[in-house]
């Protein structure tokens, strides 16, 4: 097929794709930064297979460097170890395997090993527990949907009493639904007392620690054993780019270090030269993900990244403020980090009628395409959820979003 025809087909295809426009507030999605796009193209062209230092020495050094930079940016640890992965789901699964090998003898009965999380934790952690074959226990949350430390203590005591073996707590640093941060400091204290691995799922929120004004909300993150984060969310790296940061550089080797095939056996004496990523994670062949992080972090810098995140947080606060001041919208949650949940009101309508109305409004919005929200049910109330992680979003986009919701809501009553 001639390239010109193929490119025509390609533009038709891309025209019908979803774009992360400045008023796209669904899920957790950001546009790709220009420097990240260029770096990803270079990484594809260089086509390094980042399996080990021997196969890709420069890429290995750069990956270890950007993991330390991410550790510094999030306040986790300036000398973090870890591994770059496809995203938060993969990071959470890897973390659970690391935790299991850190806190259990190799022959332990996995069904008795128990991991603790709240109903607000991202579903990938419960899914990971299912894959690994351990039991996931739901811990009570408080009125703000944060993990309740007393609830955690009670669950741990009850489970130990019936012979279960707790090994890990998964705390959220920015839940995907409403953006709340679990009380990391208090949970870290309990985890230390009870010799549990503390994994923090910061796939959405942890990068907000790069905003100096938000950093204090993450107090305790520096005591976690592992941290998941997604650079393809708030850092605007092109998909895919997630990271699992680890405090103990030897922790991953305990989970993944043995059983490599003879054809990859490393014969080097030097420790640096002998380093192999397959002994620190699930994948063998891996793309050069660190190049986009290395280029983006150097080009934009920590201050500018923090400022872009702070702007999104401020815009979510403005959205909440506009909702709060209006007669025809009700704020249902937030703002927490850059998430705000609300619904459109109809005078005299019951909750069931409002749920049906807002569901129809959301469908109309998504078909209309000018702005994009996603949904969440909060205490039986159907909410329109806005999550702002776009460095191009302005106040005008926020105002336009409410105007479009109003316009489409009028046609529904």
Ligand X SMILES: *Cc1c(COP(=O)(O)O)cnc(C)c1O
Binding mask 255-284 for ligand X (x = CB under 6 A): ------------------------------
Residue 24 CB neighbours (<10 A): 25
Smaller CB distance to ligand X: residue 218 or 275? Answer: 218
94 binds ligand X (CB under 6 A): no
Query: Minimum CB separation from ligand X for residue 43, in Å?
Result: 18
Cβ(205)–Cβ(178) under 8 Å? no
The sheet carrying 226-230 orders its strands as 81-85, 242-246, 226-230, 197-201, 165-172, 113-118, 135-139
Query: Minimum CB separation from ligand X for residue 216, in Å?
Result: 20
Chain residue whose CB lies nearest ligand X: 87
**Which residue among 30, 48, 118, 176 contacts ligand X (CB under 6 A)?**
176
Burial (CB count within 10 angstroms: exposed 0-12, middle 13-18, buried 19+), residue 195: exposed
**The token pair that represents 27 in the structure block:** 């899920």
Cβ(67)–Cβ(245) under 8 Å? yes
Query: Minimum CB separation from ligand X for residue 109, in Å?
Result: 28
89 binds ligand X (CB under 6 A): yes
**Which residue among 120, 222, 230, 283 contacts ligand X (CB under 6 A)?**
230
- 33-45 residues labelled b (16+ CB within 10 A) or e (exposed): bebbbbbbeebee
Query: Minimum CB separation from ligand X for residue 83, in Å?
Result: 14
51 binds ligand X (CB under 6 A): no
- What is the distance between the alpha carbons of residues 274 and 385, in angstroms, rounded to a whole number? 48
**The token pair that represents 350 in the structure block:** 């019951």
Binding mask 178-217 for ligand X (x = CB under 6 A): -----------------------x-xx-------------
Query: Minimum CB separation from ligand X for residue 80, in Å?
Result: 18
Number of residues that bind ligand X (CB under 6 A): 14
Query: Minimum CB separation from ligand X for residue 403, in Å?
Result: 28
Residues that bind ligand X (CB under 6 A): 28, 87-89, 92, 122, 124, 172, 176, 201, 203-204, 230, 242
């Amino acid at each position: 097929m001639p390239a010109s025809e193929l490119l025509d087909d390609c533009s038709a295809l891309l025209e019908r794709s979803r774009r992360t426009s400045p008023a796209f507030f669904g899920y957790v999605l950001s546009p790709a930064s220009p420097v990240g796009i260029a770096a990803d193209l270079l990484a594809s062209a260089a086509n390094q297979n980042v399996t080990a230092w021997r196969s890709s020495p420069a890429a290995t050094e750069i990956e270890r460097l950007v993991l330390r930079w991410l550790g510094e940016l999030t306040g986790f640890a300036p000398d973090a170890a870890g591994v770059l992965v496809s995203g938060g789901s993969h990071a959470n699964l890897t973390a659970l395997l690391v935790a299991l090998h850190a806190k259990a003898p190799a022959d332990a009965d996995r069904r008795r090993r128990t991991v603790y999380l709240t109903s607000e934790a991202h579903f990938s952690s419960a899914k990971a527990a299912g894959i690994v074959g351990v039991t996931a226990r739901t811990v009570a949350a408080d009125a703000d949907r944060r993990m309740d430390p007393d609830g955690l203590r009670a669950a741990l005591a009850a489970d130990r009493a019936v012979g279960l073996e707790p090994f890990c707590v998964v705390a959220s640093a920015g839940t995907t639904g409403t953006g709340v941060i679990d009380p990391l400091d208090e949970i870290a204290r309990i985890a230390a007392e009870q010799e549990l691995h503390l994994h923090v799922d910061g796939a959405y929120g942890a990068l907000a620690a790069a905003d100096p004004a938000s950093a204090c909300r993450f107090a305790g993150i520096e005591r976690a054993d592992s941290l998941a984060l997604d650079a393809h969310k708030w850092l605007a790296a092109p998909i895919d780019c997630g990271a699992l940061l680890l405090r103990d550089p030897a922790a991953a080797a305990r989970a993944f270090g043995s059983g490599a095939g003879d054809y990859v056996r490393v014969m080097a004496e030097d420790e640096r030269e002998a380093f192999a990523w397959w002994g620190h994670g699930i994948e063998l062949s891996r793309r050069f993900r660190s190049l986009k992080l290395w280029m983006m972090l150097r080009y934009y810098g920590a201050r500018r990244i923090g400022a872009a995140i702070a702007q999104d947080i401020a815009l979510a606060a403005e959205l909440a403020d506009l909702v709060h001041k209006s007669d025809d919208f009700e704020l249902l949650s937030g703002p927490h980090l850059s998430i705000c949940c609300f619904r459109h009101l109809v005078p005299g309508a019951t909750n069931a009628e409002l749920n049906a109305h807002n569901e129809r409004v959301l469908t109309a919005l998504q078909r209309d395409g000018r702005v994009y929200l996603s949904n969440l049910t909060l205490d039986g109330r159907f909410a329109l959820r806005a999550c702002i992680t776009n460095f191009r979003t302005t106040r005008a986009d926020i105002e336009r979003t409410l105007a479009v919701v109003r316009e489409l809501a009028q046609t529904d009553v």
